[in-house]
Homo-oligomer: A and B are copies of this chain.
């Protein structure tokens, strides 16, 4: 079985760790390989990076797409891991060229861009995966399957959160690159905290529950002096089934590295997952709590999830494996379309989720600007 060939757009800068993360995730299974890249904006730097990585380099992503179009480059799909403001153009170009895309989130800078991109993805029927990494985590997938098969009953309330502390001080003023672009409206868009991690909480709330947000009332804060965009993001949401969701994210919770999680309360039971202890999923109902542990072969995983697991019972898979699972989904989709044998791909977030996320953040920003008045999503 030949390896899938992957091209990367962005990700090659010295502080741009996510390129390496995708390299690892796509390499993980030994069934996909990075073969080409337009890794940086500056053509020279892009070529140098590619040489360093040992792949075929392009000075511009347009050239890479062009090379493929002319049959001078084999490329099964592209990974887009540029800064937020540079997702849209290459994503759209890939889609137009019929190249499947695995795109970092947020999908675009504006709702309008997101809608246009999603529309094209649909029209062209191009595989498109949006990198909400933890949706590839088996325990988050399991939670979703449990909800879907009715384990918790009709959902009444959702709590989804993403609690970090790394921006509790004005790191952006010390030249920290990750902080700098995230807190810069030009590069990050209308929301820092909401766009960066609030969307993850939003996806946890909607993707796991299967519900949509109808309208929101939000309060965004900017606690660190001199910061333009939000570093704290609090949304009360009304879901399309009447449930209430509390969707929050913060970057000022000192000591909290990555406390991402959700609790779902239904008429029959409750579900809880926290990334800090990602290897287990808590179900509360009946006389005792039930804790499910990650690990291949566990009988409670439906095949749709179990087929993504790589190591046996008790050993953990986490972030890189979750991201690799999104690449797996892309791989399975492509192989199946080609008529190769492959397990069924899971329905991980795609372009529609990207649109929903952009609309959610836009509505939250609008509501917060209007003293928390409700805004439709």
Binding site for B on A (CB under 8 A): 1-3, 17, 20-21, 23-24, 26-30, 33-34, 52-54, 152, 156-157, 164-166, 168, 217, 219, 221, 223, 232, 234, 236, 244, 246, 248, 250, 252-259, 263, 265-270, 275-279, 283-293, 295-296, 298-300, 310-321, 371-372, 374
Contacts and interface: CB of A to CB of B under 8 A. Distances in A.
B30 A23 contact: yes
Contact of A255 (B17, B33, B164, B284): B284
B223 A246 contact: no
Name, among A34, A244, A263, the residue most crowded by chain B CB atoms within 10 Å (CB to CB). A244
B315 A317 contact: no
A290 B284 CA distance: 10
16 contacts: A21-B310, A24-B28, A27-B28, A156-B252, A157-B221, A164-B314, A232-B244, A234-B236, A255-B285, A255-B289, A257-B293, A258-B295, A276-B293, A288-B300, A289-B293, A372-B372
Contacts of A277: 277, 279
Contacts of A314: 164, 256-259, 275-276
A316 B278 contact: yes
Contact of A24 (B270, B288, B310): B310
A191 B277 CA distance: 34
A40 B104 CA distance: 40
Given A234-B246, A270-B165, A300 B320 contact: no
Contact of A311 (B21, B269, B287): B21
A250 B266 CA distance: 12
Given A29-B24, A54-B3, A313-B258, A157 B287 contact: no
Name the residue in A34, A283, A289 with the highest tally of chain B Cβ atoms < 10 Å from its Cβ: A289
B318 A316 contact: yes
A219 B232 contact: no
Contacts of A234: 236, 244, 246
Contacts of A259: 314
A285 B371 CA distance: 32
A318 to B, nearest CB: 4
B246 A253 contact: no
A132 B223 CA distance: 31
